[in-house]
Amino acid sequence: MQVARPFSGTDRRQEQVGLVSQALQYIFSGITAGSIYAIVAIGFNIVYSTTGIINFAQGEFFMLGGMTAVTLSAFLPLPLAIAGAVVVVGLVGGALDVFFFRRLRKPSILQMIIITIGLSIVIREAALHIWDEKVRALPYFTGDACSSVKVLGAAISPQVFWVLVTVGVVVIALHCFLRYSIVGKAMRACASNSTASTLAGINATNMRTLAFVLSAGLGALAGCVVSPISMTSYDMGTSLAIKGFSAAILGGLGNHMAAVAGGLAVGIAESCSVHYVPAAYKDAIAFAILLLVLFVRPQGLFGGTEVGTSSREF
């Protein structure tokens, strides 16, 4: 089918503007999802660097945050509901450490991973029984589902800005905390060498619990802030955990700043993939990135330690 009139300059510009705004749409949705993956990745990193454990239940903290906030918002104003959810889920995270990990006698790393897998399953099923399989969502913080802001031709929901701002604040606050506060430095000490830090008077066990509480609370906060856009359902935790892990690995395990970069990369890749690959496969993109990183460069883009060699872990 041919266009009858000759191709004029305005047509081309319009076409370009259309392409740019479409690309921007992809990028913004990628950044939105990516910043969530970044938070999950940071949560992984906090626990990993302090304890060496990959906490599979990280994704469930997200889900719990959103669900708890929805329940609380029935009788509390929204900000309080969210704060309450963060506290509750933070306590759940701490409880995981106190009741499970503290009781183990010198477990191997692999044992710990399998235990966290089991924990994530149990948490999921508990959530299913407490709430049920219906999808829930918090109300939009500002505006509603229809409001949108035009950025360079792309229509962005205001909630996206909430997400970005929250994630940005969290990242900066965490960075300052770990770098400048005593407690933060103590956590970093435990991450480097827990025996030495114990000898220096740091209670490594409490640091570990703090790591769990922190990662759970942050996860819950992110789960609340993204709930209006991407809904909350009892089974969203698993794939979120894997995607967050992909982001963490891409940046390099243990590196908080790199996790942000990794999360954004995964989110944008996932979003742009819709252009090239059937949308049904979109979720597989993050997993494919995971495999690619693990096979080609397990230490990630910014990591340094050699993780390739194989050794028995059981």
Partner 1 sequence: MQRHPIIPIVALVGAIIAVQVTATLSGREYYLTQLIMSAYYTIVVCGLCLVMGYAGQLSLGHGAFFALGGYTTAVLTTLDFSSGAINLAATGLGRGLLKVGILVAQTDLYGRDFVAFTPWAAFIAALLLTLAIAVVVGYPALRLRGHYLAMATLGFGLIVYRLLLGTEWTGSADGISSVPGWHILPGVVICGKSAHRVKNYYVAWGLVVFVLSFIVNVVRSRTGRALRSIHDGELAANAMGIHTAGYKLKVFVLSAGMAGVAGSFLTHYNGGIGPSEAGAMKSVRYVTLVAAGGMANVWGVLMVGSVLTFLSLRGCFGSMDHAVFGGILILIMSFAPQGPLKPLGDFLSRVRSACRRAPRDSAAGRPGDGDLPGRLG
Which residues of this chain interact with partner 1, rule CB under 8 A?
54, 100, 103-104, 107-111, 113-115, 117-122, 124-126, 129, 238-239, 242, 245-246, 249, 278, 280-281, 283-284, 287-288, 290-291, 294-295, 298, 307-314
Comparison of 195 and 309: residue with beta carbon closer to partner 1: 309
Rounded least distance, CB 279 to partner 1, Å: 8
Comparison of 151 and 294: residue with beta carbon closer to partner 1: 294
Are the C-beta atoms of 68 and 85 separated by less than 8 Å?
Answer: yes
Rounded least distance, CB 209 to partner 1, Å: 17
Q: How many CB atoms lie within 10 A of CB 74?
A: 7
Rounded least distance, CB 48 to partner 1, Å: 9
Nearest alpha-carbon partner for 250 in 290, 285, 283: 290
Alpha-carbon span 146 to 194, nearest angstrom = 51
Rounded least distance, CB 71 to partner 1, Å: 20
DSSP line for 231-276: -B-TTHHHHHHHHHHHHHHHH-TT-HHHHHHHHHHHHHHHHHHTTT
Comparison of 150 and 312: residue with beta carbon closer to partner 1: 312
Alpha-carbon span 102 to 89, nearest angstrom = 19
Tokens of 145: 């589902």
- Distances in Å between the Cα of 270 and the Cα atoms of 32, 58, 159, 221, 264 are 11, 20, 20, 23, 10
Q: Look-up: residue for tokens 């220096």?
A: 200
Comparison of 219 and 303: residue with beta carbon closer to partner 1: 303
Rounded least distance, CB 173 to partner 1, Å: 28
Nearest alpha-carbon partner for 219 in 94, 43, 88: 43
Comparison of 124 and 208: residue with beta carbon closer to partner 1: 124
Rounded least distance, CB 212 to partner 1, Å: 16
Comparison of 217 and 300: residue with beta carbon closer to partner 1: 300
CA 285 vs. chain centroid, Å, equals 16
